[in-house]
Amino acid sequence: MKAMNPSTKSPFCRIRPPCLYGCCLLLCLCLGFPAASQAALSYQDALARALDQEARHQAEEHEARATRADGWRSIAGMGPTLTAHLQPSFNEDRLQRDAVPALEYAGDDRSSSYHDTEIGITLRQPLLDFERLHTARYGSRQIDLADQMRRRSSEELSVRVAELYYAVLAARDSLAVREAEEKTLKQQVEAARSRQALGYGTAIDVHDAEARQALARAATIAGRDELNNARLALQEVLHQEELEDLAPSPALAELPRRERNLAFWQQQARERNTDLQMKDRQAEMARLERQAAWSRFAPRLHAVASYTYSKPSDSLYYGAEEESEGYIGLRLEMDLLNGGADTAASIAAGQRFEAAQARLEESRRAVARSVQSMWDSLGSTYALAEAYEGAAQANRQAMMATEAGYREGVKVLLDVLDAQQKYYSALNQAQNVRNNYMILYYKFVALTGQSELPLQEGPGAAKVRAREQ
DSSP string, 333-370: E-----TTHHHHHHHHHHHHHHHHHHHHHHHHHHHHHH
Residue 298: C-alpha distances to residues 128, 169, 338 (Å): 10, 64, 13
pLDDT in tens, 99-120: 555 545 455 556 666 677 889 9
What is the distance between the alpha carbons of residues 416 and 397, in angstroms, rounded to a whole number?
12
Residue 5, domain member (yes or no): no
Is residue 291 in some structural domain? Answer: yes
Decide if 103 is inside a domain.
no
Q: What CATH number does the domain containing 118 carry?
A: 1.20.1600.10
Give domain status of residue 120, yes or no. Answer: yes
- Residue 73 · residue 92 · CB < 8 Å: no
**pLDDT at position 1:** 34
Per residue in 169-225, pLDDT tens? 999 999 999 999 999 999 989 988 988 888 887 888 899 999 999 999 999 999 999
pLDDT for 178 equals 94
CA nearest neighbour of 161 among 438, 463, 469: 438
262 lies in a domain? yes
For residue 316, pLDDT beyond 60:
no
The confidence band for 6, taking pLDDT boundaries of 50, 70 and 90, is very low
Residue 459, pLDDT > 50, answer no
d(CA 173, CA 167): 10
Contact present, 421 and 432 (Cβ < 8 Å): no
Mapping DSSP to helix (H, G, I), strand (E, B) and coil, where does residue 300 land? strand
Please indicate, yes or no, if residue 398 is contained in any of the structural domains.
yes
Confidence at residue 240, expressed as pLDDT on a 0 to 100 scale: 86
Within a domain: 104: no
Summarize pLDDT for 349-376 with one digit per residue, the tens. Answer: 999 999 999 999 999 999 999 999 999 9
Q: Which domain holds residue 380?
A: 11-92+112-468
- The answer to the question of residue 1 being in a domain is no
Give the pLDDT band of residue 302 (cuts 50, 70, 90).
very high
- Residue 454: the pLDDT is 40
What does the alpha-carbon distance between residue 133 and residue 126 come to, in Å, rounded to a whole number?
9
The CB-side HSE value for 211 (13 A sphere, CA atoms) comes to 10
pLDDT at 108: 57
35 or 326: which leads in pLDDT: 326
Residue 233's pLDDT is what? 93
Question: Which tens digits make up the pLDDT trace of 230-277?
Answer: 999 999 999 888 888 888 888 888 888 888 889 999 999 999 999 999
Could you give the number of structural domains in the chain?
1
pLDDT single digits (tens) 59-108: 999 999 999 999 999 999 899 999 998 888 776 666 666 555 554 545 55
Greatest Cα pair distance in the chain = 155
pTM for the model stands at 0.76
Grade residue 423 by pLDDT with cuts at 50, 70 and 90.
very high
